[in-house]
Structure 1
């Protein structure tokens, strides 16, 4: 009998690709969603897997015991559900609680109700590695040994800092839980920067797109008349990140490890250069900026551990952006 993995936040951008990869490999997948309507929308995206895909309704992942029923009988957990909000009004309620409590809640549920779980893979973020006080940090290379030091109250007054902090706090909570409670399962965390690529999850219209897809959409739909300042200088293709989840679950040596999952550096200027070159019909709505400008001196992100230990081959920026633009143009307004 094929193993069963639980994928939290199954209706999300990253989760859509994670579902795709696990289902294609023959796993049974149980996805958590907030409502029956959302479950129906996700099911419609995967009509070829009617027997392998099931759902558990979890209306509030920060609620006590939220995942108690969802985890029963599963062999592994892929925890992708965490808010990506850069303008939170109440950082405690909108960011810290769902990120931290959502993570510890699912680990508690696994320990109490799912003795068959061997591995929990947590989708963390480069945000938990980056030191936001250091700016672009020319000459520095971030590795898995780095941790974001700006967390909790120190970040609460700035919504962007608070988002970065929420990722570090949730990841630390996961490793602290394992250290303190000694469960039979192990935890692995993945640390992607900006995540781009084609849309695989259900989207009603471009108005309901996830944050990182909207980040690319605005660069060619006329929203921007100049090339924006790049905020985070690293990216990964969502399909590579989905592969990383499968590999992190299947690789014994990944137990207790963190992995920076990134192709490498990029800039918005490089993105618009690709769009203008590959889609000439979009030149009128895509800002030109300083075409061909090289990357400025900024920090680097070391992806060698993920390549060596998980065997990931990362997709180049051009393919990621071309496939993203094609996917976004196919959506209805």
Structure 2
């Protein structure tokens, strides 16, 4: 794999980057990668997570990471404050969340298919939420023509170590999928 020289990065190292959902599985890995490349990171969390600041500051220094509590990303005043002095935003948080009432047509079909195992339905809902979230993002870009580059990264499945012990208690689709494989 070809590597990019730091001088060619769109955002220079030592710049501040905002990462939404910094305490999540993907978000915590994004934060770690940014910090390892020399960026300063501000991470959003829905509620106070003191262990998160300690985790990253102990490894990358006292001024490397700060968390900011934003319970609701539709609170634009709080979000605007969090975005002050940042050079980039990496949005990995599922802002709307998902429930069993969050469907797309394929998910509805799978949910009502008698062959779909009950423990697979949460994963199906997760996939539907990601599909609809991306559709909404591309529509917004098309309608608003923002002055930045929008990218959608679509990992099918992620497996890695957890960043901190507190993350072990979170139940997500990757963990559910691993659990279901262990049952086979």
TM-score of the two chains, using structure 2 as the length reference: 0.71
Aligned equivalent of 1:28, options 37, 40, 48: 40
How far the C-alpha of 1:64 sits from its partner, in A, is 5.3
Structure 2 unmatched runs, 5+: 1-12, 113-120
Does structure 1 conserve the Cα–Cα contact (< 8 Å) formed by 2:100 and 2:125?
no
Does structure 2 conserve the Cα–Cα contact (< 8 Å) formed by 1:34 and 1:58?
yes
How far the C-alpha of 1:82 sits from its partner, in A, is 1.3
How far the C-alpha of 1:182 sits from its partner, in A, is 1.7
Does structure 1 conserve the Cα–Cα contact (< 8 Å) formed by 2:34 and 2:41?
yes
Aligned equivalent of 2:158, options 195, 198, 205: 195
Aligned equivalent of 2:80, options 68, 74, 86: 68
Superposition map of 1:213-232 within 5 A = 213-216=175-178, 224=183, 227=184
How far the C-alpha of 1:10 sits from its partner, in A, is 0.5
Residue 188 to residue 3, structure 1, CA distance change in 2 (3 Å): same
Does structure 2 conserve the Cα–Cα contact (< 8 Å) formed by 1:8 and 1:32?
yes
Superposition map of 1:100-115 within 5 A = none
Deviations 1:103-148 (A, max 9, x none): xxxxxxxxxxxxxxxxxxxxxxxxxxxxxxxxxxxxxxxxxxxxxx
Structure 1 unmatched runs, 5+: 97-148, 228-333
TM-score of the two chains, using structure 1 as the length reference: 0.42
Does structure 2 conserve the Cα–Cα contact (< 8 Å) formed by 1:84 and 1:211?
no
Does structure 2 conserve the Cα–Cα contact (< 8 Å) formed by 1:151 and 1:169?
no
In 2, distance between residues paired with 1:53 and 1:33?
13
Residue number in structure 1 paired with 2:4: none
Deviations 1:222-253 (A, max 9, x none): xx3xx1xxxxxxxxxxxxxxxxxxxxxxxxxx
Residue number in structure 1 paired with 2:166: 204
- Asked if 1:182 is matched to 2:145, the reply is yes
Deviations 1:54-93 (A, max 9, x none): 122101224555522211221111111117988x3443xx
- Number of residues of Structure 1 aligned to a counterpart in Structure 2: 162
Larger CA Rg, structure 1 vs 2: 1
Residue 204 to residue 182, structure 1, CA distance change in 2 (3 Å): closer
Superposition map of 1:104-253 within 5 A = 150=105, 160-200=123-163, 202-204=164-166, 206-216=168-178, 224=183, 227=184
Superposition RMSD in Å: 3.3
Give the ranges of 4+ consecutive aligned residues of structure 1 lying more than 4 Å apart after TM superposition: 62-66, 83-86, 151-161, 217-220
Superposition map of 1:79-90 within 5 A = 79-82=91-94, 88-90=99-101
- Asked if 1:43 is matched to 2:53, the reply is yes
How far the C-alpha of 1:189 sits from its partner, in A, is 0.8
